[in-house]
Structure formats: C-alpha cells, structure tokens
Amino acid sequence: MECGAGWWILMCFMASILISGLSRYREYKRRERERERWGVPRGSLGWPFIGETLDFIAAAYTSRPVSFMEKRKSLYGNVFKTHLLGKPVIVSTEPEVNRMVLHNHGNVFVPSYPKSITELFGETSILKMHGTMHKRLHASIARFFKSPLLKARLTTHIQNSVQSSLASWRPGQLVLIQDQTKQITFEILVEALMSVGPGGRYGVLEKRAKARLLRMTRKIVEERRLSTNYFKGEEDNHNDAIDALLRDSGDAADANENQRLPSDFISGNIIEMMVPGEDSVPMAMTLAVKFLSDNPVALKQLQEECLELKKRKVESGDYYVWTDYMSLPFTQNVISETLRMANIINAVWREATEDVKVKGYLIPKGWSVLASFTAIHMDDQIYENPYHFDPWRWEKKGAGACSITFTPFGGGQRLCPGLELARLEISIFLHHLVTTYRWVAEKDEVLYFPTVKMKRQLPIIVSPLI
C-alpha cells in the first residue's frame, strides 16, 4: 500500500515536471517563431567571447568614434546587432527607435551599462534604478532642479564662482580651461546638492575620498533631519537637493515618517548624483571654448550679443537674473551646437526584460540595446556638414529644443534632470569669459575614450578685452 502511494507521488511529480517542461518548450518555440517572423536586426556577433569589442574600442580611440557605427550602418542598416563588452547588443542609430527605447513604453527596458561604467555609479545610483523607486526619485530631483527659487539662488552663486575664477587669471597667463571649469562647476554642484560652500567641510569634498564623503554627507542629512521637522511641513532654508529628498514623501498625501527616504539612501544618492553632474558640464564649457577658438566668426557674434547685455546691465544698474542669460539666442545656439558635436554622453545602454518589437525589429529578451546619440548627431542626412561647428543651424531648428534628432540630455523617463542647470552654468561662464578676455588657444586634441576630454586640458593664453 505504502509502496503504491510512493509510486503515485513519484508519477505525479514526474508528470508535473514534464508538463512544466513542455509548456516552457512551447513558450520557447513560440518565441523562436516570433523572432524568426520579426527578425533580430542583421549584423555580426564577431569573435567568440570578445565579439566586436576590439573594433568598438579602436574606433573610440580615433577622432571619429562614430566610424564603428557608420561602417555597420552601411552594411546592415540603421539598426544592427553586434557583441560588445561581453553582451549581445542591438545598436540603434535611428531616431525613432532611440525615442521608443528612451520612452520605454510598457517598461520593458532597464538600465544596463557595461560593468566598467556601473562601477563608477555606486550601489544606490539613480542611473542603475528602475521601477517605482526610480520614478519617485527622478520626480523629486527633477522638481527640485526645475524650481525657479533654486535657479535664482544658483544664478548669483554661479556668477560669483565664475567671476572669482576669471579674476584670478593674469594677462599673458596660460590657463587650462578644462581644469578651471572643473573647479568652478564642482563648487556649484556641491552648493546645489548640499549647500556646502568653500571652506570647512568643502575641503573633505574636494579630496573626493568616497568613504569620508559619505560619512560627511550622512552627517549633514542627519543634522538637517533633527533640526527641521519635515514631517510637519516645517521649512528648511537651504533649498538644496538634500532638502528636496528629505521633504519627499512619495505619492502619499498623508505621509508618515516610515514613507520618508532613509538617511543612508539620501546621502548615497547625493554623492552619486555628482557622477552625472561632475564632468559633463566642465567638458561642455571646455569644448565650447575650443569650438569658438576655431571659429572666430561665431566667437565675434557671441561676444557682441554678450557685450550688448552687459552694457544694458551696467546702464540700468540691475543685477543679472537667470532669464537674462538663458534668453540670449546666439548663446543658446552656441551651446546647442557644442552639445551636438561634443557628445559628452554618447549613448544610453538598456536591457530588454522581454522580447520587444520596435519599428519592425526584434530585440530579444536579455539583449542589450545601445541607443547611440553620436551616430544621430553626426549623421549628414540629418545635420548638413555635421563636423562643421555651425551655431546658425539652430536658428531654423530652435536652440534648446530637445527632439528625437537632438538628445544630448537623453529623453523620456530618464531625461537629465540637470539639463537647465547645465545650460545656465554654461551660459554664465561663456558670458563672463567673452566679455572679460580675448584669448589664443594652443593646439590640443579631443579624446573620446573612455570619456570625452582634452588631451592637454585646453591651454589658452588670455589678455583683457579692454
């Protein structure tokens, strides 16, 4: 009797394994048929294990990193498959496909950067997150960076920081623009995120030892939490990113303390927010100076526009406000053209969590998608003479307008929340630079790998304008 029951259980067990195996097999076959019908984009997966990584990196080391994409685009079309950095990847150089990846309808794409990049982000970085927590954090940060109050406060701060840096330059001195702009923008970032100005705690931040940085930031968060009762809606007068995250209560109108973000999470995120904000803005400033140095006609028009504003300000005795800087049309054209050519963030990486069909292509589950911005920004079918610095092209397009063919700040769910701050910083820097100095740039070269930077930090020799 006992033996019969044992057999019966065993048979049931085997049958259930068989049924679940069969249904998995059927699902697998269904996917295969779908994949065949839709078709994974054409392309080559290259060598076993390394795929086409060597070609990809070799191209990145040249002055034309987009040549990797261009070659394959001409062979296989705008969307192609390859194998990079240990993963099968679908590369998109097509604006509409990039838009669908960025907007992520149906939430099928999650961030998936190569290991070498994710190690820079840190564990709690927003750049790694997805789902509800990402939505909540993104909304909170974006709301904070959009606030007119913050822009007003930061305008004065950015202005002071730029002017004091420019005032320290001596006529005939060799100035390393990349180094100077890094110092200026770091100071601004730290002020915006945690209201720490030069002196005292700033010294710890400057050294950038992560463990100390985290300890210090955690302390600031804790001090704020104790001194201000955010739960009861008390006001904190710092108006920085720490304040915004401490105030965040998710969607709950009747939020209690448990729904608040924990201190460790806030301090980790504040530190990791420095990663996307820290190098991008100084590089945009540096490359703007480089492109302007190579194009005296554009520099002259920018200078005229800025001198005109400066004259109005001197005559009226009014302070500059952020809209003064942001409403200068040629300045904004110069910034857009710089961002188009600089491609500081050249692409975004995502992974498909299930099979996805995008514009007739199949992206299989588990594959990465690299939505290339550079390939679109440097496409001669979209931008006439794309390697020529031409700020006037934006007179027709409208500077500043992000579109599917202009995505320096990404788009959709993860659109860069620091976009307006970045443009404001660059506008203020260019304004004061061109109204204070003329300069001669020494020979230098843009490097594109692993990140965009100048080989010699862009040395220029300055002399006062008047």
Provide the annotated binding site for heme: 416
Tell me, what DSSP letter sits at residue 173? -
Return the biggest CA–CA distance within the chain: 107
Nearer of residues 169 and 394 to ligand HEM, judged by Cβ = 394
Instruction: For residue 141, state whether it binds ligand HEM (rule: CB under 6 A).
Output: yes
- Minimal distance in Å, beta carbon 460 to ligand HEM? 20
Instruction: For residue 344, state whether it binds ligand HEM (rule: CB under 6 A).
Output: yes
Tell me, what DSSP letter sits at residue 123? T
Element (H, E) at 372: strand 368-372
The mark string for 92-111 relative to ligand HEM (x by CB under 6 A, - otherwise) is: -------------------x
Calculate the alpha carbon distances from 333 to 159, 328, 389 in Å: 21, 9, 11
Nearer of residues 196 and 422 to ligand HEM, judged by Cβ = 422
Angle at which helix 67-76 crosses helix 53-60, to 10 degrees, equals: 130
Instruction: For residue 289, state whether it binds ligand HEM (rule: CB under 6 A).
Output: no
Stretch touching ligand HEM by CB under 6 A, among 35-43, 83-91, 294-302, 402-410: 402-410
* 70 three-class SS: helix
- Minimal distance in Å, beta carbon 341 to ligand HEM? 12
Of 66, 154, 220, 273, which lies in the binding site for ligand HEM, with binding defined by CB under 6 A?
273
Calculate the alpha carbon distances from 153 to 149, 241, 421 in Å: 6, 13, 12
Tell me, what DSSP letter sits at residue 277? H
**What SS3 string covers 347-369?**
EEEEEECCCEEECCEEECCCCEE
- Minimal distance in Å, beta carbon 264 to ligand HEM? 18
Instruction: For residue 417, state whether it binds ligand HEM (rule: CB under 6 A).
Output: yes
- Minimal distance in Å, beta carbon 174 to ligand HEM? 25
Of 73, 151, 340, 414, which lies in the binding site for ligand HEM, with binding defined by CB under 6 A?
414
Nearer of residues 111 and 122 to ligand HEM, judged by Cβ = 111
Instruction: For residue 348, state whether it binds ligand HEM (rule: CB under 6 A).
Output: yes
Nearer of residues 55 and 94 to ligand HEM, judged by Cβ = 94
Cα separation of 81 and 332, whole Å?
A: 36
What DSSP string describes 289-355?
A: HHHHHT-HHHHHHHHHHHHHHHHHHHHHTPPP-HHHHHT-HHHHHHHHHHHHHH-SS-EEEEEESS-
Nearer of residues 94 and 279 to ligand HEM, judged by Cβ = 279
Which residue sits closest to ligand HEM, CB atoms considered? 418
Of 217, 228, 280, 336, which lies in the binding site for ligand HEM, with binding defined by CB under 6 A?
280
Cα separation of 329 and 302, whole Å?
A: 9
Nearer of residues 59 and 192 to ligand HEM, judged by Cβ = 192
- Which of 285, 293, 294 minimizes the C-alpha distance to 178? 285
Q: Report the interface residues with ligand HEM, using CB under 6 A.
A: 111, 126-127, 138, 141, 273, 276-277, 280-281, 284, 344-345, 348, 408-410, 414, 416-418, 421-422
